[in-house]
Each structure stands twice: as structure tokens, then as C-alpha cells.
Amino acid sequence: MKKGLITGINGQDGSYLAELLLEKGYEVHGLVRRSSTETFERINHITDRIKLHQADLNDLSSITEVVREVRPTEIYNLAAQSFVPTSWKQPLLTGDITAMGVTRMLEAVRQTDAKGIKFYQASSSEMFGKVQETPQREETPFYPRSPYGVAKAYGHFITVNYRESYQMFCVSGILFNHESERRGKEFVTRKVTDAVARIKTGKQKELRIGNMDAKRDWGFAGDYVRAMWLMLQQDTPDDFVVASGETHTVKELIEIAFDHVGLDWKKFVVQDPAFMRPAEVDLLLGDPSKASRILGWKPELDFPGLVKRMVDFDLKRQGGA
């Protein structure tokens, strides 16, 4: 039986990936950090079918112990400080978890079973930052624009370096933005769909938002975790861009979400400088052709379908559907 260990199992992607691995018959283990209030909201429905281990990406001995105890066949390193604005407020913490945490995980693998464990690193389109070409491909040079993007670029290259230095099976998935009803409410898609539901049900008056001209290549998280799994099923380790191949503005996102519940967004949306960033990533558009050709991956849910799914979920939560 294959054994998967997921760091960040309690996050958006971790929860979808755990479901996918269970479906495929894996023994699923998850690494979670200690918190004074244990909230496993995204994985509550599967906690009886997975095994959780307490460790922290900032603590090498705790993660090495988990890797030694579980001896997984595959590790998916999804844990990170993943919210871009927080990375300006807490740049060192972001570097410790999102950059050095990757080296700690790789060291735990190297010291336990360098040849027997396949390793997936959750890299990000934020590494392209001030984009050097459009669409962005595996070979596009990185120009990160936030401490988060810089940390992810480190995580990407250390993964490539362990592959080349120790012939370990390490891959990096350069994933573009992917969303769902499990997305944290601080990210723009969920912030918008949650606000639409609350406005529609009379619980909120307005939506305060930052840069509406920013463009993102958005997809559905459930589709993207399939690509992670496919990368670890290949004979040779390689890196892949995973994207929808379409880009949309934040304004388009807002329009679709409000329109879906029959509201005119212009009456409710207020631009607020508090949500502008010190340096912005203006445009992300990925070229997923390598993933399509080699992995046979393609997304199933399109952008309008994703936004409507999220609005419907939030509306139901607010008792409005």
C-alpha cells in the first residue's frame, strides 16, 4: 500500500489532496502544528481515515521524527506561510517556514531514505512576479515581488538542487492561483464570494477591496491537487507549470460574483488603499502545455464555474440559498 505524508494537510490544498489519496487507496498521514485551539475544519470529515502527526516546519527534529516513523512513499510539502501581504509584515517568519522549511523537509528525507521517498514541493506562480514573458512557462526567469515570492523561489531551487545533488526524486509544481469554497477568507476570491453572500443576505453593507486591475490565472483547487499527484507518478522527476491558461482581472471576478446573485457590484464595492500592496504582481498567465502533454492533466472547472460554485457555497452558509 502506498503511504502519503502531507504537510499543510489542514490547509485548502492539503484537504483536497488527502481526499484524492484516500480515493486512490493510500494510507494518508498529515503533519499539523500545535495550536491552542485545534480547528481541523477542512479535514474534520476525514479525520477518522487519516493519521495526524504533530510537528512544525521550523523544527527539524520534529519533522525528521515524523518522516522516520511514517516512512512514506510520497511526501507532499504544502505547508507554508502562504498569504502574500503577511509576508511583508512577517518577512523573517515567512522565510523560515516557506524557504528554510523546504530544506528541513528535504534533509529529513535525505537522512531517512533518500532514494525511497518521492518529494513534491508546492512552488508558486508568485515567483514570476514582475513577469519576464507572457505566458509564463517552466523556463521563464523568476522576478519575485514579495518576501513570499522570494521564499518560494528559494524553495523551488533547493528542491531542484537536492534532485541534482543527491539524485533524489524531488519535483516542483509551479502552480498558479487555485481556489475553492475551502479557501481562506483573506484571499481575494473567497473575500469576494463571502462578501457577496453576506451582502445578499443583509449582513454586510459594502466590500472594501484593493487593486481591481490585477490579473490572475485562477483555477479550481480540486483540479490542481490531481496535477501534484500525477507529478509523483512519473518515471523521472521534473518540474511543471500548472495553470488554466486564461487570465482575468479582480474586477471581472467581482462582476461575475455579484451578477450571479442579481446585484450591481458598483453599488457595493469600495476601493480601499489599505488593501494595496507595496509591490504588486500585475499579470499572471500560465502556459500549462507541458503538464497537458506529459501528465495528461487538464482542469475540469472553468473560471465562471468556479466563482459561481464559491458564491453558491457561501450563500448556503449564510442561509440565503
Q: Which residues are catalytic?
A: 124, 126, 148
Q: Which of 64, 77, 125, 193 binds ligand G4F (CB under 6 A)?
A: 125
Q: Near ligand NAP by CB under 6 A, which window of 68-76, 175-183, 266-274, 287-295?
A: 175-183
Task: Determine which residue in the list 5, 6, 10, 74 makes contact with ligand NAP, applying CB under 6 A.
Answer: 10
Q: Is the peptide bond before 299 cis (omega within 30 degrees of 0)?
A: no
219's enclosing H/E stretch is: strand 219-220
Among 294, 316, 313, which residue's Cα sits nearest to residue 305? 313
In the complex, least distance from residue 218 CB atom to ligand NAP, rounded to whole angstroms: 8
CB 116 to ligand G4F: min, Å: 29
Closest distance of CB 191 from ligand G4F, Å: 5
Q: Hey, is 105 helix, strand or coil?
A: helix
User: Which of residues 122 and 295 has its CB atom nearest to ligand NAP in the complex?
Assistant: 122
Query: Smaller CB distance to ligand NAP: residue 81 or 159?
Result: 81
Partner interacting with residue 216 (select from ligand G4F, ligand NAP, none; CB below 5-8 Å by kind): ligand G4F
CA distance 98 to 8: 11
Instruction: Assess 88 for contact with ligand G4F (CB under 6 A).
Output: no
Total of residues contacting ligand G4F (CB under 6 A): 22
Pull the grid cell for residue 125: 506562480
CB closer to ligand NAP out of 97 and 153 = 97
- CA pair distance 180, 17, nearest whole angstrom: 13
CB atoms within 10 A of CB 259: 16
**Could you tell me the three cell numbers for 288?**
500549462
Binding positions for ligand G4F, 152-181, rule CB under 6 A: 176-177
Q: Which is nearer to ligand G4F, 104 or 216 (CB)?
A: 216
Least distance in angstroms from the C-beta of 277 to ligand G4F: 5
187 binds ligand G4F (CB under 6 A): yes
Site for ligand G4F in 244-303 (CB under 6 A): 250, 275, 277, 280-281, 284
**Closer residue to ligand G4F (CB): 163 or 191:** 191
Among 14, 95, 237, 288, binds ligand NAP (CB under 6 A): 14
| Residue length of the chain | 321
In the list ligand G4F, ligand NAP, none, the entry touching 84 (Cβ below 5 to 8 angstroms by class) is ligand G4F
Give the SS3 label for residue 132. coil
The values of phi and psi at residue 303, to 5°, are -60, -50
Binding mask 69-88 for ligand NAP (x = CB under 6 A): ---------xxxxx------
Q: Residue 6's beta-bridge partner residues?
A: 30, 76
Contact residues for 164 (Cβ-Cβ < 8 A; gap 6+)? none
Q: Can you tell me the distance from the alpha carbon of 224 to that of 63, in angstroms, rounded to the nearest whole number?
A: 25
> Between the CA of residue 179 and those of 91, 144, 223, 229, 259, what are the distances in Å?
24, 21, 10, 18, 19
Minimum distance, C-beta of residue 287 to ligand NAP, in the bound complex (Å): 16
CA distance 80 to 99: 8
d(CA 318, CA 76): 34
Residues binding ligand NAP (CB under 6 A): 7-8, 10-14, 33, 35, 56-58, 78-82, 97, 122, 124, 175, 177-178, 184
